[in-house]
Amino acid sequence: MEYEEGKEKLIQAWGTLGASWGLNRTMAQIHALLMISPESLSAEEIMKELNISRGNANMNIRALIDWGIVYKEHKPGERKEYFKSEKDVWELAKQVAQERRKRELDPIIKMLNQVENIRDDSGQVENIKEFKKITKDLKKFADKSNGMLDKFIRADEHWFFGTLLKSFK
Amino acid sequence: MEYEEGKEKLIQAWGTLGASWGLNRTMAQIHALLMISPESLSAEEIMKELNISRGNANMNIRALIDWGIVYKEHKPGERKEYFKSEKDVWELAKQVAQERRKRELDPIIKMLNQVENIRDDSGQVENIKEFKKITKDLKKFADKSNGMLDKFIRADEHWFFGTLLKSFK
DNA sequence: TTAAACTTTCAAACATTATTGAAAGATAAA
DNA sequence: TTTATCTTTCAATAATGTTTGAAAGTTTAA
Protein backbone atom coordinates (compact mmCIF):
# COMPACT_ATOMS: atom_id res chain seq x y z
CA MET A 1 0.00 0.00 0.00
CA GLU A 2 1.20 3.49 -0.77
CA TYR A 3 1.43 6.29 1.73
CA GLU A 4 -1.37 8.31 0.18
CA GLU A 5 -3.72 5.35 0.25
CA GLY A 6 -2.90 4.52 3.84
CA LYS A 7 -3.36 8.11 4.87
CA GLU A 8 -6.73 8.24 3.15
CA LYS A 9 -7.83 5.02 4.86
CA LEU A 10 -6.79 6.21 8.30
CA ILE A 11 -8.51 9.56 7.93
CA GLN A 12 -11.72 7.97 6.73
CA ALA A 13 -11.79 5.35 9.45
CA TRP A 14 -10.98 7.86 12.12
CA GLY A 15 -13.81 10.03 10.84
CA THR A 16 -16.26 7.18 11.18
CA LEU A 17 -15.01 6.31 14.64
CA GLY A 18 -15.23 9.92 15.73
CA ALA A 19 -18.89 9.98 14.79
CA SER A 20 -19.63 7.36 17.42
CA TRP A 21 -17.54 9.13 20.02
CA GLY A 22 -19.26 12.45 20.18
CA LEU A 23 -17.00 14.24 17.76
CA ASN A 24 -18.32 14.72 14.26
CA ARG A 25 -16.80 13.30 11.13
CA THR A 26 -14.85 16.35 10.05
CA MET A 27 -13.59 17.01 13.53
CA ALA A 28 -12.18 13.52 13.74
CA GLN A 29 -10.70 13.76 10.25
CA ILE A 30 -8.87 16.94 11.10
CA HIS A 31 -7.61 15.23 14.19
CA ALA A 32 -6.38 12.22 12.21
CA LEU A 33 -4.63 14.49 9.74
CA LEU A 34 -2.85 16.38 12.50
CA MET A 35 -1.92 13.18 14.25
CA ILE A 36 0.01 11.78 11.32
CA SER A 37 1.53 15.08 10.32
CA PRO A 38 5.09 15.60 11.58
CA GLU A 39 4.70 19.38 11.34
CA SER A 40 1.86 21.50 12.64
CA LEU A 41 -0.54 22.66 9.94
CA SER A 42 -2.30 25.93 9.18
CA ALA A 43 -6.04 26.26 8.63
CA GLU A 44 -5.25 26.76 4.96
CA GLU A 45 -3.41 23.46 4.71
CA ILE A 46 -6.12 21.57 6.54
CA MET A 47 -8.78 23.00 4.23
CA LYS A 48 -6.84 21.97 1.19
CA GLU A 49 -5.92 18.53 2.44
CA LEU A 50 -9.48 17.59 3.43
CA ASN A 51 -11.37 19.65 0.86
CA ILE A 52 -13.42 21.54 3.34
CA SER A 53 -14.43 25.15 3.59
CA ARG A 54 -12.81 27.79 5.70
CA GLY A 55 -15.73 28.02 8.10
CA ASN A 56 -15.94 24.31 8.55
CA ALA A 57 -12.24 24.03 9.23
CA ASN A 58 -12.33 26.88 11.70
CA MET A 59 -15.29 25.58 13.67
CA ASN A 60 -14.02 22.07 13.97
CA ILE A 61 -10.48 23.11 14.89
CA ARG A 62 -11.98 25.19 17.70
CA ALA A 63 -14.02 22.22 18.83
CA LEU A 64 -10.90 20.03 18.93
CA ILE A 65 -9.09 22.64 21.00
CA ASP A 66 -12.13 22.66 23.26
CA TRP A 67 -11.81 18.93 23.72
CA GLY A 68 -8.21 19.49 24.67
CA ILE A 69 -6.72 17.25 21.99
CA VAL A 70 -5.43 19.88 19.56
CA TYR A 71 -3.19 22.82 20.36
CA LYS A 72 -2.59 26.17 18.77
CA GLU A 73 0.98 27.01 17.86
CA HIS A 74 2.56 30.22 16.71
CA LYS A 75 5.60 30.04 14.52
CA PRO A 76 8.10 32.85 15.10
CA GLY A 77 7.81 35.61 12.54
CA GLU A 78 4.54 34.19 11.19
CA ARG A 79 1.16 35.73 11.43
CA LYS A 80 -0.81 32.54 10.84
CA GLU A 81 -1.87 30.09 13.51
CA TYR A 82 -0.69 26.53 13.25
CA PHE A 83 -2.27 23.49 14.84
CA LYS A 84 -0.89 20.28 16.17
CA SER A 85 -2.47 17.26 17.76
CA GLU A 86 -1.80 15.50 21.00
CA LYS A 87 0.19 12.50 19.77
CA ASP A 88 0.42 10.43 22.91
CA VAL A 89 -2.36 7.92 22.49
CA TRP A 90 -2.68 7.40 26.22
CA GLU A 91 -3.08 11.12 26.85
CA LEU A 92 -5.58 11.22 24.04
CA ALA A 93 -7.64 8.44 25.60
CA LYS A 94 -7.64 10.14 28.98
CA GLN A 95 -8.65 13.44 27.48
CA VAL A 96 -11.52 11.85 25.59
CA ALA A 97 -12.62 9.93 28.68
CA GLN A 98 -12.66 13.13 30.68
CA GLU A 99 -14.62 15.02 28.09
CA ARG A 100 -17.18 12.29 27.68
CA ARG A 101 -17.61 11.99 31.38
CA LYS A 102 -18.40 15.67 31.54
CA ARG A 103 -20.80 15.52 28.63
CA GLU A 104 -22.54 12.23 29.29
CA LEU A 105 -22.08 10.75 32.71
CA ASP A 106 -22.44 13.95 34.73
CA PRO A 107 -25.86 14.87 33.32
CA ILE A 108 -27.16 11.35 33.95
CA ILE A 109 -25.99 11.41 37.54
CA LYS A 110 -27.61 14.78 38.00
CA MET A 111 -30.87 13.47 36.58
CA LEU A 112 -30.78 10.37 38.77
CA ASN A 113 -30.33 12.52 41.83
CA GLN A 114 -33.27 14.70 40.90
CA VAL A 115 -35.46 11.76 40.27
CA GLU A 116 -34.72 9.75 43.35
CA ASN A 117 -37.30 11.34 45.57
CA ILE A 118 -40.56 10.85 43.76
CA ARG A 119 -43.68 10.85 45.83
CA ASP A 120 -45.30 7.45 46.06
CA ASP A 121 -48.87 8.50 46.51
CA SER A 122 -50.38 8.46 43.07
CA GLY A 123 -51.63 4.95 43.60
CA GLN A 124 -49.25 3.43 41.11
CA VAL A 125 -47.56 1.35 43.73
CA GLU A 126 -45.94 -1.23 41.47
CA ASN A 127 -44.69 1.27 38.91
CA ILE A 128 -43.14 3.42 41.54
CA LYS A 129 -41.52 0.48 43.25
CA GLU A 130 -39.88 -0.61 40.01
CA PHE A 131 -38.90 2.92 39.12
CA LYS A 132 -37.15 3.38 42.44
CA LYS A 133 -35.39 0.07 42.16
CA ILE A 134 -34.04 0.79 38.68
CA THR A 135 -33.00 4.35 39.35
CA LYS A 136 -31.22 3.22 42.50
CA ASP A 137 -29.31 0.56 40.56
CA LEU A 138 -28.43 3.01 37.83
CA LYS A 139 -27.23 5.53 40.33
CA LYS A 140 -25.03 2.98 42.02
CA PHE A 141 -23.54 1.98 38.72
CA ALA A 142 -23.09 5.54 37.51
CA ASP A 143 -21.35 6.54 40.72
CA LYS A 144 -19.00 3.62 40.52
CA SER A 145 -18.22 4.33 36.89
CA ASN A 146 -17.64 7.92 37.74
CA GLY A 147 -15.16 6.94 40.40
CA MET A 148 -13.34 4.58 38.11
CA LEU A 149 -13.11 7.14 35.35
CA ASP A 150 -11.73 9.58 37.80
CA LYS A 151 -8.95 7.22 38.70
CA PHE A 152 -8.37 6.30 35.11
CA ILE A 153 -7.97 9.92 34.15
CA ARG A 154 -5.33 10.33 36.82
CA ALA A 155 -3.61 7.01 36.19
CA ASP A 156 -0.45 6.66 34.18
CA GLU A 157 -0.19 4.30 31.31
CA HIS A 158 2.51 2.10 32.67
CA TRP A 159 0.65 1.36 35.82
CA PHE A 160 -2.65 0.95 34.07
CA PHE A 161 -1.66 -1.41 31.31
CA GLY A 162 1.16 -2.99 33.25
CA THR A 163 -0.25 -3.70 36.68
CA LEU A 164 -3.95 -3.44 36.24
CA LEU A 165 -4.39 -5.26 33.00
CA LYS A 166 -2.59 -8.27 34.39
CA SER A 167 -5.08 -8.43 37.25
CA PHE A 168 -7.78 -9.40 34.78
CA LYS A 169 -7.87 -13.13 34.61
CA MET B 1 -41.51 15.18 42.21
CA GLU B 2 -44.34 13.09 40.90
CA TYR B 3 -43.97 9.71 39.28
CA GLU B 4 -45.02 10.90 35.84
CA GLU B 5 -42.51 13.73 35.92
CA GLY B 6 -39.68 11.49 37.06
CA LYS B 7 -40.54 8.94 34.41
CA GLU B 8 -40.52 11.63 31.74
CA LYS B 9 -37.15 12.92 32.93
CA LEU B 10 -35.57 9.49 32.96
CA ILE B 11 -36.84 8.62 29.49
CA GLN B 12 -35.62 11.89 28.02
CA ALA B 13 -32.19 11.68 29.62
CA TRP B 14 -31.78 8.08 28.62
CA GLY B 15 -32.69 9.01 25.07
CA THR B 16 -30.00 11.67 24.99
CA LEU B 17 -27.44 9.30 26.46
CA GLY B 18 -28.35 6.61 23.98
CA ALA B 19 -27.61 8.96 21.12
CA SER B 20 -23.98 9.14 22.15
CA TRP B 21 -23.75 5.42 22.65
CA GLY B 22 -24.60 4.18 19.22
CA LEU B 23 -28.27 3.60 19.86
CA ASN B 24 -30.61 6.25 18.57
CA ARG B 25 -32.87 8.39 20.67
CA THR B 26 -36.05 6.38 20.24
CA MET B 27 -34.27 3.11 20.76
CA ALA B 28 -32.92 4.32 24.07
CA GLN B 29 -36.30 5.75 25.09
CA ILE B 30 -38.02 2.46 24.46
CA HIS B 31 -35.34 0.81 26.50
CA ALA B 32 -35.81 3.25 29.38
CA LEU B 33 -39.55 2.70 29.31
CA LEU B 34 -39.16 -1.06 29.45
CA MET B 35 -36.59 -0.81 32.19
CA ILE B 36 -38.87 0.97 34.61
CA SER B 37 -41.91 -1.02 33.68
CA PRO B 38 -42.70 -3.88 36.09
CA GLU B 39 -44.63 -5.70 33.39
CA SER B 40 -43.58 -6.40 29.83
CA LEU B 41 -45.24 -4.14 27.28
CA SER B 42 -46.79 -4.66 23.86
CA ALA B 43 -45.82 -2.66 20.78
CA GLU B 44 -49.17 -0.92 21.11
CA GLU B 45 -48.43 0.23 24.64
CA ILE B 46 -44.97 1.45 23.72
CA MET B 47 -46.35 3.44 20.78
CA LYS B 48 -48.91 5.07 22.96
CA GLU B 49 -46.57 5.80 25.85
CA LEU B 50 -43.88 7.41 23.68
CA ASN B 51 -46.09 8.84 20.94
CA ILE B 52 -44.36 7.09 18.12
CA SER B 53 -45.62 5.31 15.05
CA ARG B 54 -46.06 1.61 14.61
CA GLY B 55 -43.18 1.32 12.18
CA ASN B 56 -40.85 3.27 14.34
CA ALA B 57 -41.69 1.19 17.38
CA ASN B 58 -41.26 -2.04 15.48
CA MET B 59 -37.89 -1.15 13.99
CA ASN B 60 -36.39 0.07 17.21
CA ILE B 61 -37.67 -2.82 19.26
CA ARG B 62 -35.99 -5.15 16.77
CA ALA B 63 -32.78 -3.19 17.05
CA LEU B 64 -32.86 -3.49 20.84
CA ILE B 65 -33.38 -7.22 20.56
CA ASP B 66 -30.43 -7.24 18.17
CA TRP B 67 -28.30 -5.52 20.76
CA GLY B 68 -29.32 -8.21 23.19
CA ILE B 69 -30.84 -5.91 25.80
CA VAL B 70 -34.52 -6.46 25.15
CA TYR B 71 -36.36 -9.77 25.00
CA LYS B 72 -39.52 -10.95 23.37
CA GLU B 73 -42.11 -12.58 25.60
CA HIS B 74 -45.29 -14.44 24.78
CA LYS B 75 -48.08 -14.39 27.28
CA PRO B 76 -50.10 -17.61 27.39
CA GLY B 77 -53.36 -17.32 25.52
CA GLU B 78 -52.31 -14.04 23.92
CA ARG B 79 -51.54 -13.47 20.30
CA LYS B 80 -49.55 -10.28 20.81
CA GLU B 81 -45.83 -10.10 21.48
CA TYR B 82 -44.67 -8.46 24.65
CA PHE B 83 -41.26 -6.99 25.35
CA LYS B 84 -39.16 -6.69 28.44
CA SER B 85 -35.76 -5.20 29.10
CA GLU B 86 -32.67 -6.60 30.67
CA LYS B 87 -32.86 -5.03 34.12
CA ASP B 88 -29.51 -5.97 35.57
CA VAL B 89 -27.44 -2.87 35.02
CA TRP B 90 -24.19 -4.80 35.02
CA GLU B 91 -25.46 -7.19 32.34
CA LEU B 92 -26.63 -4.20 30.40
CA ALA B 93 -23.22 -2.56 30.54
CA LYS B 94 -21.49 -5.71 29.40
CA GLN B 95 -23.90 -6.18 26.54
CA VAL B 96 -23.39 -2.61 25.37
CA ALA B 97 -19.62 -2.91 25.68
CA GLN B 98 -19.70 -6.02 23.56
CA GLU B 99 -21.82 -4.45 20.85
CA ARG B 100 -19.70 -1.34 20.70
CA ARG B 101 -16.55 -3.34 20.49
CA LYS B 102 -17.95 -5.20 17.54
CA ARG B 103 -19.13 -2.05 15.82
CA GLU B 104 -16.28 0.32 16.58
CA LEU B 105 -13.10 -1.23 17.83
CA ASP B 106 -13.01 -4.20 15.48
CA PRO B 107 -13.15 -2.09 12.29
CA ILE B 108 -10.39 0.19 13.55
CA ILE B 109 -8.12 -2.72 14.36
CA LYS B 110 -8.79 -4.13 10.94
CA MET B 111 -7.91 -0.82 9.32
CA LEU B 112 -4.73 -0.45 11.34
CA ASN B 113 -3.62 -3.89 10.25
CA GLN B 114 -4.24 -3.06 6.61
CA VAL B 115 -2.37 0.15 6.85
CA GLU B 116 0.70 -1.02 8.70
CA ASN B 117 2.71 -2.02 5.68
CA ILE B 118 2.89 1.06 3.55
CA ARG B 119 5.78 1.31 1.13
CA ASP B 120 8.27 3.96 2.12
CA ASP B 121 9.57 4.87 -1.29
CA SER B 122 7.54 7.86 -2.37
CA GLY B 123 10.19 10.21 -1.10
CA GLN B 124 8.07 11.46 1.79
CA VAL B 125 10.42 10.13 4.38
CA GLU B 126 9.28 12.23 7.32
CA ASN B 127 5.58 11.81 6.66
CA ILE B 128 5.92 8.09 6.40
CA LYS B 129 8.00 7.88 9.54
CA GLU B 130 5.36 9.74 11.53
CA PHE B 131 2.56 7.76 9.98
CA LYS B 132 4.16 4.49 10.97
CA LYS B 133 4.85 5.69 14.47
CA ILE B 134 1.29 6.82 15.07
CA THR B 135 -0.38 3.80 13.53
CA LYS B 136 1.86 1.52 15.57
CA ASP B 137 0.92 3.33 18.78
CA LEU B 138 -2.75 3.24 17.91
CA LYS B 139 -2.57 -0.44 17.15
CA LYS B 140 -0.89 -1.17 20.44
CA PHE B 141 -3.53 0.78 22.29
CA ALA B 142 -6.40 -0.74 20.34
CA ASP B 143 -5.15 -4.25 20.97
CA LYS B 144 -4.80 -3.62 24.68
CA SER B 145 -8.26 -2.11 24.86
CA ASN B 146 -9.62 -5.02 22.98
CA GLY B 147 -8.08 -7.41 25.45
CA MET B 148 -9.42 -5.50 28.42
CA LEU B 149 -12.89 -5.30 26.99
CA ASP B 150 -12.78 -9.00 26.43
CA LYS B 151 -12.03 -9.61 30.05
CA PHE B 152 -14.56 -7.04 31.17
CA ILE B 153 -17.26 -8.73 29.17
CA ARG B 154 -16.50 -12.00 30.88
CA ALA B 155 -15.98 -10.54 34.35
CA ASP B 156 -18.61 -10.61 37.04
CA GLU B 157 -19.72 -7.52 38.83
CA HIS B 158 -18.68 -8.48 42.29
CA TRP B 159 -15.12 -9.12 41.25
CA PHE B 160 -14.95 -6.11 39.02
CA PHE B 161 -16.26 -3.47 41.34
CA GLY B 162 -15.12 -5.19 44.48
CA THR B 163 -11.59 -6.32 43.81
CA LEU B 164 -10.57 -4.31 40.83
CA LEU B 165 -11.96 -0.96 41.74
CA LYS B 166 -10.10 -1.04 45.03
CA SER B 167 -6.84 -1.54 43.16
CA PHE B 168 -7.15 1.96 41.79
CA LYS B 169 -5.36 4.27 44.13
C1' DT C 1 -4.29 55.83 10.79
C1' DT C 2 -4.71 52.43 6.81
C1' DA C 3 -4.15 48.21 4.61
C1' DA C 4 -3.14 43.54 4.44
C1' DA C 5 -3.44 39.11 6.49
C1' DC C 6 -5.71 36.39 8.91
C1' DT C 7 -9.91 34.45 11.92
C1' DT C 8 -14.69 34.11 13.16
C1' DT C 9 -19.57 34.09 12.44
C1' DC C 10 -23.90 32.65 10.72
C1' DA C 11 -27.90 32.27 7.48
C1' DA C 12 -28.82 29.54 3.71
C1' DA C 13 -28.02 25.22 1.24
C1' DC C 14 -27.09 20.60 1.53
C1' DA C 15 -26.70 15.88 3.44
C1' DT C 16 -27.89 12.48 6.53
C1' DT C 17 -30.78 10.12 9.57
C1' DA C 18 -35.21 9.19 11.73
C1' DT C 19 -40.13 8.76 11.41
C1' DT C 20 -44.53 7.99 9.52
C1' DG C 21 -48.32 5.41 7.83
C1' DA C 22 -50.35 2.70 4.59
C1' DA C 23 -49.91 -1.59 2.36
C1' DA C 24 -48.19 -6.18 2.32
C1' DG C 25 -46.98 -10.21 4.97
C1' DA C 26 -47.62 -13.56 8.69
C1' DT C 27 -50.06 -16.38 11.81
C1' DA C 28 -53.60 -18.51 14.44
C1' DA C 29 -58.33 -19.36 15.48
C1' DA C 30 -62.83 -20.27 13.65
C1' DT D 1 -60.24 -22.21 3.75
C1' DT D 2 -61.51 -17.40 5.52
C1' DT D 3 -61.13 -13.87 8.74
C1' DA D 4 -59.25 -11.23 12.31
C1' DT D 5 -55.24 -9.96 14.58
C1' DC D 6 -50.81 -8.79 14.74
C1' DT D 7 -46.01 -7.74 12.55
C1' DT D 8 -42.98 -6.05 9.04
C1' DT D 9 -41.58 -3.31 5.24
C1' DC D 10 -40.49 0.74 2.80
C1' DA D 11 -41.21 4.96 -0.07
C1' DA D 12 -42.30 9.46 1.15
C1' DT D 13 -41.65 13.03 4.42
C1' DA D 14 -39.89 15.34 8.32
C1' DA D 15 -36.34 16.43 11.49
C1' DT D 16 -31.72 17.02 12.53
C1' DG D 17 -27.04 17.84 11.76
C1' DT D 18 -23.27 19.58 8.71
C1' DT D 19 -21.07 22.55 5.42
C1' DT D 20 -20.50 26.52 2.74
C1' DG D 21 -19.03 31.09 1.62
C1' DA D 22 -19.39 35.71 1.95
C1' DA D 23 -19.30 39.35 5.18
C1' DA D 24 -17.86 41.09 9.53
C1' DG D 25 -14.36 41.10 12.95
C1' DT D 26 -9.58 41.18 14.60
C1' DT D 27 -4.73 41.82 14.69
C1' DT D 28 -0.30 43.40 13.18
C1' DA D 29 2.95 46.07 10.57
C1' DA D 30 4.05 50.14 8.28
Domain's final residue, options A60, A85, A110: A85
Does A142 score more than 80 pLDDT?
Answer: yes
Which of these, B105, B108, B36, B22, lies nearest to B66 by C-alpha position?
Answer: B22
Confidence at A58, pLDDT banded by 50, 70, 90? very high
CA distance B159 to B152: 10
- Tell whether B106 and B153 lie within a shared domain: yes
- Higher pLDDT: B131 or B21? It is B131
The answer to whether residues B159 and B98 belong to one domain is: yes
pLDDT tens sequence across B30-60: 999 999 999 999 999 999 999 999 999 999 9
Residues B154 and B117 in one domain: yes
Residue A169 is predicted with a pLDDT of: 62
Q: CA of B80 vs C1' of C29, distance in Å? A: 14
pLDDT band at A79 (very low <50, low <70, confident <90, very high): confident
Strongest mean pLDDT among B14-28, B35-49, B99-113, B138-152? B35-49
- Reply yes or no on whether the pLDDT at B70 is more than 70: yes
| Helix H or strand E encompassing B41 | strand B41-42
Q: Residue A59, CB half-sphere, CA atoms under 13 Å: how many?
A: 9
Nucleotides in chain C with any atom closer than 7 Å to protein CB: 5-11, 17-23, 28-29
Cβ of B119 within 8 Å of Cβ of A7? The answer is no
Number of domains in chain B: 2
Burial of A55 (0-12, 13-18, 19+ CB in 10 A): exposed
List the single residue in B3, B147, B165 with the smallest CB-CB distance to A118: B3
Please compute the mean of the pLDDT values over residues A152-165 and round it to a whole number: 84
Looking at the structure, tell me whether residues A73 and A123 fall in a common domain: no
**pLDDT tens digits for range B128-157:** 999 999 999 999 999 999 998 998 999 888
CA to C1' distance (Å), from A106 to D14: 32
* H-helix or E-strand spanning residue A99: helix A89-100
Give the whole-angstrom CA distance, residue B75 versus residue B73: 6
Q: State the burial class of residue A155 (Cβ atoms within 10 Å of its Cβ: 0-12, 13-18, 19+).
A: middle
Do the Cβ atoms of A89 and B141 come closer than 8 Å? yes
